[in-house]
């Protein structure tokens, strides 16, 4: 369990890493900071200048109450002689001319200057906020691009060990939260810090004594913000972790809806969802409750400072040690001081939520990628389809070996059927051919070349795949067929469609090959027709090696014969590996390989293996008996 003390450096590293994303845009950041600085200076000077205007008014009002023709010193002496010492003290601290009223000309100039300062401040701060938001959007765009590229560079092992729903949540929800956090907090945080510094400087310039009183609230606000941030971060982290878990459960429930309903497990799925949803609610509630404590506390401290400055300021005016304009400026500064303090507290807590999401995003970006490619030989390789396994060993985890000392040779054009119970290593064997995983020992050769000497793109360009679960992306039927070869011509696409019997049903569709396939509209295609499209996709890629994962096991009866005929055409003159579950579909295989516990226990033809009365015969008899019963 991570302690708060250990988690704090991690949070700081994450925040620094997020801010480090601004480095490529540093010159734009410098320009924005300059604009913000000038805007804050203008805003901070304005109350001081406005205070001079108040002094002009008050000096004029008091001056009208004093006899004309006297100097200020004579007027003060006269007041003391009359026993009006407190009024005399106040007048002595003012820039008053006895008998002279309000200087409206000077007052007008001051008001114009104040108006200009506020207009300039508003314009510069708007430019700074707009510029910062633009920079943040670029950073978020770059982050999305980085994680999208990263996903394509992750090994298959990562996807086998992580929930798809949680990964989607990291790519979407967490990045959105980072974007919202940066967009809302960075601009406000920068402006709030600059405003705070500007106000403190102007307060000391105006009245050092009252400034010391006012800034006493700052340490208390900082301590409160730090304490709340420390407590809220763990709740924000739990909130986004639960969000990812909930998305994973929703994705699982949607994809397996029919199975869940068929087995009557709806109540259990709903219970799991309710439990996770409740955990998400608790984490979210605690995060928002704790983070919401900052604003009221900082506002309270600001009000306390405001009252103290008002009382002390009144006493200083009465004693003649400060003017009314100075105290007015200090009161205005005191009111303004609480705003950036509250903003900083709120933005720090918003950054806690964003940093919790950023940790989840960076966790994906920090995952080890597929082993780097080696420099491929420059001489072209033949494409005959010879595949050899030489003493191959592999394990998903070091302490649990799956395949040990496996050797197998598939001659060009042969059909190799791979059978065995679940967990025997059939799919793993295919994953190794495709280099989704790297072998631990031994080697795999294609046309006499170790596949580790090939680039993955070169290797996979030789292999066509037709899986049990059809995958068609959102697009037209034509685009789905051409997915096997992005450079395929129209004639090649049509030829592949005819060879796979796709052409006969596509031409009956209103939009033909331009029929759109997506989640909302699958083109009214049956499972078998979708399977035929994947076979056409394999045709158009012109592979020398073919991998079939029981292509007819999820196909409706009406088109199963067409699928079998299409796959037979596809296998013609190609080395084929067929992962079979229904043994009746592989009777014509050139060789049947029986696997158990990662080892080849038998291999031969259908008839030969039945005569041997071994593992294959037992599997065959069990399936035949099940069909009869």
pLDDT reported for residue 116: 92
Lowest mean pLDDT across 115-124, 167-176, 533-542, 620-629: 620-629
Nearest to 287 by CA among 344, 245, 350: 350
List residues bridging with 545 in a β-sheet. 463, 575
Q: What mean pLDDT is reported for the chain?
A: 78
Confidence of residue 115 (pLDDT cuts 50, 70, 90): very high
Tell me: pLDDT of 150 over 50: yes
Confidence of residue 89 (pLDDT cuts 50, 70, 90): low
Beta carbons of 360 and 240 less than 8 angstroms apart: yes
- The string of pLDDT tens digits covering residues 570-627 is 888 889 898 877 787 788 888 988 888 878 888 888 888 888 888 888 888 877 654 4
Lowest mean pLDDT across 277-281, 343-347, 440-444: 343-347
Tell me: pLDDT of 2 over 60: no
- The string of pLDDT tens digits covering residues 361-417 is 888 888 887 776 665 554 456 678 899 989 988 888 777 888 888 888 989 989 988
What's the CA gap between 483 and 481, in Å, rounded? 5
Question: φ and ψ at 19, to 5 degrees?
Answer: -65, -30
Q: How far is CA 366 from CA 11, 369, 592, in A?
A: 16, 9, 42
Tell me: pLDDT of 309 over 60: yes
What's the CA gap between 242 and 213, in Å, rounded? 45
What's the CA gap between 9 and 17, in Å, rounded? 12
Residues whose CB falls within 8 Å of the CB of residue 443, separated by 6 or more in sequence, listed in order = 390, 391, 392, 450, 451, 452
Q: DSSP secondary structure string, 228-246? A: HHHHHHHHHHHHHHHHHHH
Confidence of residue 6 (pLDDT cuts 50, 70, 90): very low
Domains of the chain, earliest start first: 18-64+101-142+172-365 (1.20.1560.10), 387-628 (3.40.50.300)
Beta carbons of 7 and 231 less than 8 angstroms apart: no
Confidence of residue 120 (pLDDT cuts 50, 70, 90): very high
- The string of pLDDT tens digits covering residues 34-52 is 888 888 888 888 888 887 7
Contacts 24+ apart (CB under 8 A), 61-64: 61/101, 61/102, 62/90, 62/91, 62/94, 62/96, 63/96, 63/97, 63/98, 63/99, 63/100, 63/101, 64/99, 64/100, 64/101
pLDDT reported for residue 254: 65
Confidence of residue 629 (pLDDT cuts 50, 70, 90): very low
pLDDT reported for residue 1: 43
- The string of pLDDT tens digits covering residues 49-88 is 887 777 777 777 777 777 776 776 766 676 677 667 666 7
- The string of pLDDT tens digits covering residues 412-443 is 989 988 888 777 777 888 888 888 888 889 99
% the chain with pLDDT above 70 = 81
């Amino acid at each position: 369990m991570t302690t708060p003390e250990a988690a704090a450096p991690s949070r700081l590293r994450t925040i620094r890493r997020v801010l480090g994303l601004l480095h490529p845009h540093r010159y734009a950041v410098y320009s924005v900071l300059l604009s913000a600085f000038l805007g804050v200076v203008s805003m901070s000077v304005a109350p001081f200048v406005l205070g001079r205007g108040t002094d002009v008014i008050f000096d004029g009002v008091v001056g009208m109450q004093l006899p004309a023709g006297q100097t200020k010193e004579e007027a003060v002496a006269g007041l003391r002689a009359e026993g009006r010492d407190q009024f005399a003290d106040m007048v002595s601290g003012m820039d008053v001319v006895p008998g002279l009223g309000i200087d409206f000309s000077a007052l007008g100039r001051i008001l114009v200057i104040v108006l200009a300062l506020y207009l300039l401040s508003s314009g510069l701060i708007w430019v700074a906020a707009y510029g910062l938001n633009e920079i943040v959007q670029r950073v978020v765009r770059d982050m999305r691009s980085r994680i999208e590229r990263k996903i394509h560079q992750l090994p298959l092992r990562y996807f086998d060990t992580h929930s798809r729903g949680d990964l989607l949540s990291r790519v979407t929800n967490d990045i959105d939260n980072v974007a919202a956090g940066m967009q809302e907090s960075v601009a406000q945080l920068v402006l709030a810090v600059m405003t705070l510094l500007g106000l403190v400087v102007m307060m000391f310039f105006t009245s050092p004594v009252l400034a010391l009183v006012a800034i006493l609230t700052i340490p208390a606000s900082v301590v409160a913000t730090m304490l709340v941030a420390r407590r809220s971060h763990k709740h924000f982290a739990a909130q986004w972790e639960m969000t990812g878990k909930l998305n994973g459960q929703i994705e699982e429930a949607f994809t397996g809806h029919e199975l869940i309903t068929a087995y009557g497990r709806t109540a259990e799925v709903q219970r799991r969802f309710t439990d996770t949803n409740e955990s998400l609610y608790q984490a979210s509630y605690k995060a928002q409750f704790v983070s919401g404590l900052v604003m009221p506390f900082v506002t309270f401290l600001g009000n306390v400072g405001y009252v103290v400055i008002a009382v002390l300021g009144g006493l200083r005016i009465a004693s003649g040690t400060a003017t009314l304009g100075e105290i007015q400026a200090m009161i205005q500064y005191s009111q303004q001081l609480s705003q950036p303090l509250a903003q900083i507290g709120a933005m720090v807590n918003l950054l806690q939520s964003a940093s919790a999401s950023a940790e989840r995003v960076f966790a994906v970006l920090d995952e080890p990628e597929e082993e780097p490619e080696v420099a491929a030989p420059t001489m072209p390789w033949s494409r005959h389809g010879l595949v050899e396994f030489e003493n191959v060993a592999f394990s998903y985890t070091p302490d649990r070996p799956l395949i040990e000392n496996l050797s197998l040779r598939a001659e060009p054009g042969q059909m190799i059927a791979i059978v065995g119970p679940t967990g025997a290593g059939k799919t793993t064997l295919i994953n190794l051919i495709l280099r989704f995983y790297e072998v631990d020992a031994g080697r795999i050769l294609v046309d006499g070349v170790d596949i580790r000497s090939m680039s993955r793109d070169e290797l996979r360009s030789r292999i066509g795949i037709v899986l049990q679960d059809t995958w068609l992306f959102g697009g037209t039927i034509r685009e789905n067929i051409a997915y096997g070869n992005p450079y395929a011509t129209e004639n090649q696409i049509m030829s592949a469609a005819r060879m796979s019997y796709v052409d006969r049903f596509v031409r009956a569709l209103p939009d033909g090959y331009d029929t759109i396939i997506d989640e909302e509209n699958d083109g009214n295609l049956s499972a078998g027709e979708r399977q035929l499209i994947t076979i056409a996709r394999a045709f158009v890629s012109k592979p020398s090696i073919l991998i079939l994962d029981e292509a007819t096991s999820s196909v409706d009866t009406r088109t199963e014969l067409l699928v079998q005929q299409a796959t037979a055409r596809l296998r013609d003159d190609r080395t084929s590996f067929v992962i079979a579950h229904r043994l009746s579909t592989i009777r014509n295989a050139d060789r049947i390989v029986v696997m158990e516990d990662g080892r080849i226990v038998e291999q031969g033809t259908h008839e030969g293996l039945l005569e041997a009365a071994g593992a294959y015969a037992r599997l065959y008899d069990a399936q035949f008996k099940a069909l009869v019963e």
